[in-house]
Amino acid sequence: MARKLTVVFFVFYFFVAANVAFAKTDNNALQLGARAFVLMDATSGRILVEKNSENKMPMASTTKIMTAILALENGDLNSTVSVSPKAASVGGSSFYLRSGESLSLESMLYGLLLPSGNDAAVAIAEHIGGSQEKFVQMMNKKALELGALNTHFANPHGMDDPEHYTTAKDLAVIAKHAWNYNKFREIVQTKTKEIRDGNYVRQIFNTNRLLWQFEGADGIKTGYTGKAGRCLVATASRKGFRLISVVLGSSDHFKDSQKLLDYGFANYNLKPIIFKNRFYATATVEDGIFNTVDLIAEDSVLLPLKDGERVSYYVIAPKKVKAPIFKGERIGQLQIYIDDNYAASISLVASKDIRQKQYYDIFNKLLRFWLRWELN
């Protein structure tokens, strides 16, 4: 049942630690060579560090994250992908596909994401979209759906094109979505893979050296062209939370990414902000057997925080709700802010069932009142 949200209450704020001097990130202290970068909390999507994060830039083979997303959303991993002459002849980094060859979509995804095969990108695009051009339309539509509004794709592989660009922030958003897919996670953390096609065997290696060099690293995708420079979307998990880093236009994308991730894990710690089933607000109930209902958090929220950051949350909920109400029904929302910047939200739900008043409820209430009056 839809509930109209009519009231906003400011509820609570606190400081993570007393030293407010550390509340703001000093990007200069990182001394990265990348022209643009972002460090994102993979759970909430909160940006922890950024520089030129909304500048439109070429993205090289990090494009293939979106290519993989569409393949996973629209394809059957066991389906057979045929390699066209166009796919086999595309230049740049290669999975070394041959015209007329056929492999499973799953094998093509390994060829796309480990050795960064441009040929695999075109083969997948033709298989999923019917043509590369139609697939590119799908890519741009998906980017808009994800909120990557400053991204435009012109091809499925990332080779230089004036109409092919993204931002560091958009690319982090796209990577965050890709990480939802089990198969994507499985592939991008694979260091080496053997792909068999009859008697022909390909031994492929992941181009992401962070998998070997950085503690906790388990993805995602490298990229390089002359115009884009060296690019890397990376992710790592330490201390109970996951970070996504994006560097664009770097001369040493691995070094920059390691610095960025190290900075995040050194300066942020996972903190509980909202607690599941804890009471946060009350709403008045109309026509119910109870006059009010407690609103509790649907789930817990934990966020990586830096010393001195101020956390606040707002309760957004209706003044009144109409019975019947069902336990667990979403009625409001908690919006969480860090230093006045939106960070996350969680639903508020009804703590119990409240059925609608019936005639016998009114009769019983009158009867109890009459009995008390008689006894007195």
113-157 pLDDT, tens per residue? 999 999 999 999 999 999 999 999 999 999 999 999 999 999 999
The pLDDT of residue 27 is 55
pLDDT above 70 as % of the chain: 88
Q: What is the mean pLDDT of the chain?
A: 90
pLDDT for 376 equals: 58
pLDDT, mean of residues 291-315 = 94
364 pLDDT band, cuts 50/70/90, is low
Q: What is the pLDDT of residue 11?
A: 43
Catalytic residue among 53, 61, 107, 245: 61
In this prediction the pTM is 0.86
7-59: per-residue pLDDT in tens?
Answer: 444 444 444 332 222 234 455 568 899 999 999 999 999 999 999 999 999 99
The pLDDT assigned to 91 comes to 93
pLDDT-derived band at 245 (thresholds 50, 70, 90) equals very high
The CATH number of 1-25+269-376, from 3.50.50.60, 1.10.3470.10, 2.60.410.10, 3.20.20.450, is: 2.60.410.10
Burial of 157 (0-12, 13-18, 19+ CB in 10 A): buried
116 as an active site residue: the answer is yes
Q: What is the pLDDT of residue 23?
A: 33
What is the per-residue pLDDT for 200?
86
Instruction: Tell the CATH superfamily of the 34-251 domain.
Output: DD-peptidase/beta-lactamase superfamily (3.40.710.10)
pLDDT at 357: 83
Q: What is the 3-state secondary structure (H, E, C) of the chain?
A: CCCCCCEEEEEEEEECCCCHHHCCCCHHHHCCCCCEEEEEECCCCCEEEEECCCCCECCHHHHHHHHHHHHHHHCCCCCEEECCHHHHHCCCCCCCCCCCCEEEHHHHHHHHHCCCCHHHHHHHHHHHHCCHHHHHHHHHHHHHHHCCCCCECCCCCCCCCCCCEECHHHHHHHHHHHCCCHHHHHHHCCCEEEEEECCEEEEEECCCCHHHHCCCEEEEEEEEECCCEEEEEEEEEECCEEEEEEEEEECCHHHHHHHHHHHHHHHCEEEEEECCCCEEEEEEEECECCCEEEEEECCCEEEEECCCCEEEEEEEECCEEECCECCCCEEEEEEEEECCEEEEEEEEEECCCECECCHHHHHHHHHHHHHHHHHC
**In this predicted structure, what is the pLDDT of residue 36?**
98
- Residues 174-196 have pLDDT tens digits of 999 999 999 999 999 999 999 98
pLDDT at 331 over 90: yes
Query: Of 51, 64, 221, 306, which residue is the catalytic one?
Result: 64
Q: Which has the minimum average pLDDT: 36-50, 206-220, 281-295, 346-360?
A: 346-360
Domain ranges of the chain: 1-25+269-376, 34-251
44, 93, 116, 257: the catalytic one is 116
pLDDT for 5 beyond 80? no
Taking alpha carbons only, the member of 105, 218, 93 closest to residue 158 is 93
Identify whether 94 is a catalytic site residue.
no
Residue 176 is among the residues annotated as catalytic for this protein: no
| Cα-based distances in Å from 291 to 282, 286, 318, 360 | 10, 7, 14, 17
